């Protein structure tokens, strides 16, 4: 109770309240504009928050992070274009509802499910705090190293179908983090005798380039789309009544959101997928999923809104960001000399409780704002792409130039913007680069500290948490290798013409072909034996 009161004391300041309001309203508006998203907004605002108090700066950023997904549901449901990447699943059931003229019902369901997910995760966070406060001090250097390594492994494994390239890009991030003066021996690494490389790559510059500038370049080179919003009927409050009829779906989905949010490197996509598939399995009408099912919409929205609060757990308790947005927030902590990790729980619990309460208030603010301003927010989806690109380009300048008024930083950001543009064009992931950069730095420092006390390899994992983390890494790697092995298909490099002609020939020949194939194999085998002289 005392902690709650001290948390309220931290929040009871006009600047924190303004930050809450700006963060929540700004986040919803940013989420409602397809093509911006929280990563771009946070990257741009990050340098501006450095001059603010840590609680004020973090409240703005948390506000944007937590509320953008609420706003992202609006274009996902009404125009079939997700406002943020994580609202993609909402289009599956939201847009068919809009086509049936039930757009307002779908929005209402999305808001109520998101609200439940957001509040559920904050309540879980508050309930877990005493446990975290006990467990966090047990994390020494080797445990933090292993947790960071687990984060890297998970972020690579989570990119199913792109694991190799995600791994390579995570390596690229680690390499970027090592460039410049090395902190212990003060030797130069990959500076090529250039003075501007001696201080290395600033995380904010890289993040601004990869997220904000690349998005601006993408929008500037796009065509504008004509957007028409279909008419819809119903009340924005009916979703709350409907949500009460699906307690199991919404609770399980929010639970998946919390669980996946807590694990570094996993995040919203996995949470959404798991909650959506489990909701379909539990549903009495699984065939309606993907065709305007209210349960599907509830599952995806509850899961993705439960993630932000849960994603703060590894960041606050261990100082390990689980995704790009929390990695950006980590830099706000560092700028203000607030070191997230076990010490934060031991000595600044009021700060942590204040953050939880801010998240709780934020969800209420966002919901009230959405209920009164949805009609106005729909207009934001109509901003032309290229005009939006111009706006982001101007804002990106503010973000990069205000760090240290350096044209070199701007040039670096432009180069990373081009790299990000190419990656986005190729549909390749950007998050592994940022996480590699942040977690690589943490791993380097912690491994060096840990190795001072390690004499045999077993010493590294002789503590329970270290052993559990090590076992988790081995299990994840083992299961991934096993899955890849089982699903292994040799690469078919025949040209499409050759492939179709062979298929056609087989179809013409019918079952004789198979017989012919077998005979060929037999002949080949015999010939091989002959060659070997058998």
Partner 1 sequence: MTQDSDIQPRTRIAGQALFVIAALAGTVLLLSQITRQTVWVEGAGFAAQPRFWPAVALVVMTGGFGLHLWRMRRRRPSRADRTEVLRWAAPLEYVVWFMGFVFAVPLVGFLPMAVAFAVALTWRLGYRDRAMLILAAVFAVAVVVLFKGLLGVRIPGAALYELLPAGPRGFFLQYL
The residues in 277-336 that bind partner 1, with binding defined as CB under 8 A, are 277, 289-290
Q: What angle do CA 144, 263, 317 make, to 5 degrees?
A: 45
Eight-state DSSP code of residue 160: T
- The one segment of 25-33, 335-343, 373-381, 404-412 that binds partner 1 by CB under 8 A: 404-412
Asked if 402 touches partner 1 (CB under 8 A), the answer is: yes
Measured between alpha carbons, how far apart are the two ends of the chain, in Å? Answer: 86
Smallest gap, in angstroms, from Cβ of residue 178 to partner 1? Answer: 5
Confirm or reject binding of residue 205 to partner 1 (CB under 8 A).
Answer: no
Whole-angstrom distance, CA of residue 213 vs CA of residue 401: 13
Give the span between the Cα atoms of 402 and 406, in whole angstroms. Answer: 8
Spell out the residues 6+ positions from residue 148 whose beta carbon is closer than 8 angstroms to its own: 264, 320, 439, 442, 443, 446
Backbone angles phi, psi at 189, to 5 degrees: -130, 120
Judged by beta carbon, residue 191 or residue 348, the one nearer partner 1 is 191
**Judged by CB under 8 A, does residue 395 bind partner 1?**
yes
* Count of residues interacting with partner 1 (CB under 8 A): 84
Helix, strand, or coil here: 189? Answer: strand
- Is 216 a binding residue for partner 1 by CB under 8 A? The answer is yes
Segment contacting partner 1 (CB under 8 A): 27-35, 69-77, 420-428, 523-531? 420-428
Using CA atoms, how far apart are residues 120 and 122, in angstroms rounded to an integer? Answer: 6
C-alpha 456/C-alpha 463 separation (Å) is 14
Beta-carbon contacts of 485 under 8 Å, excluding residues fewer than 6 positions away, are: none
DSSP lists the bridge partners of residue 180 as 189
The residue among 494 and 524 lying less far from partner 1, judged by its C-beta, is 494
178 forms part of the interface with partner 1 (CB under 8 A) = yes
> Can residue 480 be called a binding residue for partner 1 (CB under 8 A)?
no
How is residue 47 written in tokens? 């340098």
One character per residue 491-510, x = contact with partner 1 (rule: CB under 8 A): xxx-----------------
Q: Which stretch binds partner 1 (CB under 8 A): 96-104, 230-238, 331-339, 385-393?
A: 385-393
Contact status: 8 vs partner 1 (CB under 8 A): no
| Stretch in the footprint of partner 1 (CB under 8 A) among 30-38, 72-80, 175-183, 365-373 | 175-183
470 lines the binding site for partner 1 (CB under 8 A): no
Q: Does 384 bind partner 1 (CB under 8 A)?
A: yes
Among 225, 157, 144, 169, residue whose Cα is nearest residue 388: 225
Between 14 and 192, CB nearer to partner 1:
192
Check residue 164 for interaction with partner 1 (CB under 8 A): yes
Tell me the closest approach of the beta carbon of residue 264 to partner 1, in angstroms. Answer: 18
Distance set, CA 206 to CA 21, 212, 218, 320 (Å): 29, 10, 17, 19
Cβ atoms of 23 and 63 closer than 8 Å = yes
Q: Does residue number 422 form part of the binding site for partner 1 (CB under 8 A)?
A: yes
Among 4, 88, 282, 465, binds partner 1 (CB under 8 A): 88
Q: Of 17 and 393, which CB lies nearer to partner 1 in the complex structure?
A: 393
Cα-based distances in Å from 276 to 247, 261, 268, 290, 491:
15, 16, 12, 10, 32
Q: Is 199 in the site for partner 1 (CB under 8 A)?
A: no
**Do 232 and 104 contact (CB within 8 A), yes or no?**
yes
Residue choice 65, 92, 333, 356 for contact with partner 1 (CB under 8 A): 92
Is residue 165 at the binding interface for partner 1, with CB under 8 A as the rule?
yes
**Interface with partner 1, residue 473, by CB under 8 A:** no
Q: How far apart are CB 217 and partner 1 at their closest, in Å?
A: 4
Q: How far is the CB of 417 from partner 1 (least distance, A)?
A: 7
Pairing mode of beta strands 180-181, 188-189? antiparallel
Q: How many CB atoms lie within 10 A of CB 80?
A: 16
């Amino acid at each position: 109770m005392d902690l709650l009161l001290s948390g309220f004391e931290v929040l009871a300041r006009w600047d924190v309240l303004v930050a809450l309001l700006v963060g929540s309203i700004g986040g919803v508006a940013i989420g409602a504009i397809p093509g911006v998203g929280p990563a771009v907004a946070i990257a741009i605002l990050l340098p501006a928050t450095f001059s603010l108090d840590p609680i004020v700066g973090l409240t703005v950023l948390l506000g944007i992070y937590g509320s953008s997904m609420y706003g992202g549901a609006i274009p996902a449901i009404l125009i079939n274009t997700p406002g943020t990447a994580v609202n993609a699943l909402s289009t599956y059931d939201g847009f068919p509802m809009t086509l049936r003229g039930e757009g307002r019902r779908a929005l209402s369901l999305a808001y109520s499910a998101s609200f439940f997910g957001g509040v559920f995760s904050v309540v879980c966070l508050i309930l877990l705090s005493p446990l975290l406060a006990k467990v966090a001090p047990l994390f020494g250097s080797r445990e933090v190293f292993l947790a960071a390594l687990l984060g890297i492994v998970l972020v690579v494994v989570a990119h199913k179908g792109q694991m190799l390239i995600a791994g390579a890009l995570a390596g690229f991030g680690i390499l970027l983090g090592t460039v410049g003066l090395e902190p212990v021996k003060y030797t130069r690494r990959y500076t090529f005798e250039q003075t501007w490389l001696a201080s290395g790559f600033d995380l904010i510059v890289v993040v601004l380039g990869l997220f904000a500038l690349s998005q601006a370049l993408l929008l500037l080179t796009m065509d504008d789309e004509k957007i028409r919003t279909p008419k819809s009927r119903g009340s924005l409050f009916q979703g709350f009544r409907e949500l009460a009829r699906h307690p199991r779906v919404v609770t399980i989905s929010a639970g998946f959101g919390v669980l996946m949010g807590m694990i570094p490197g996993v995040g919203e996509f996995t949470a959404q997928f798991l909650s959506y598939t489990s909701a379909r399995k539990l549903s009495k009408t699984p065939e309606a999923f993907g065709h305007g099912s209210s349960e599907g919409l509830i599952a995806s929205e509850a899961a993705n809104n439960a993630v932000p609060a849960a994603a703060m757990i590894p960041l606050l308790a261990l100082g390990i960001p689980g995704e790009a947005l929390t990695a950006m927030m980590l830099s706000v902590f560092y700028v203000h000399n607030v070191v997230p990790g076990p010490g934060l729980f031991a000595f600044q619990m009021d700060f942590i409780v204040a953050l939880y309460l801010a998240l709780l208030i934020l969800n209420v603010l966002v919901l009230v704002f959405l209920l009164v301003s949805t009609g106005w927010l729909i207009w934001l989806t109509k901003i032309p792409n290229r005009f939006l690109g111009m706006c982001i380009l101007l804002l990106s300048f503010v973000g990069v130039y205000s760090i240290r008024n350096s044209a070199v930083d701007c040039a670096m950001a432009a180069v990373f913007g081009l790299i990000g543009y190419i990656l986005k064009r190729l549909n390749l992931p950007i998050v592994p680069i940022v996480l590699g950069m942040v977690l690589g730095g943490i791993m380097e420092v912690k491994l060096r500290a840990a190795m001072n006390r390690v004499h045999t390899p077993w010493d590294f994992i002789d503590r329970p948490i270290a052993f559990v983390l090590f076992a988790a890494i081995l299990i994840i790697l083992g299961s991934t290798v096993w899955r890849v092995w089982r699903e292994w298909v040799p690469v078919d490099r025949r040209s499409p013409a050759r492939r179709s002609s062979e298929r056609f020939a087989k179809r013409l020949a019918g079952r004789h072909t198979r017989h012919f194939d077998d005979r060929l194999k037999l002949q080949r085998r015999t010939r091989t034996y002959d060659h070997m002289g058998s």
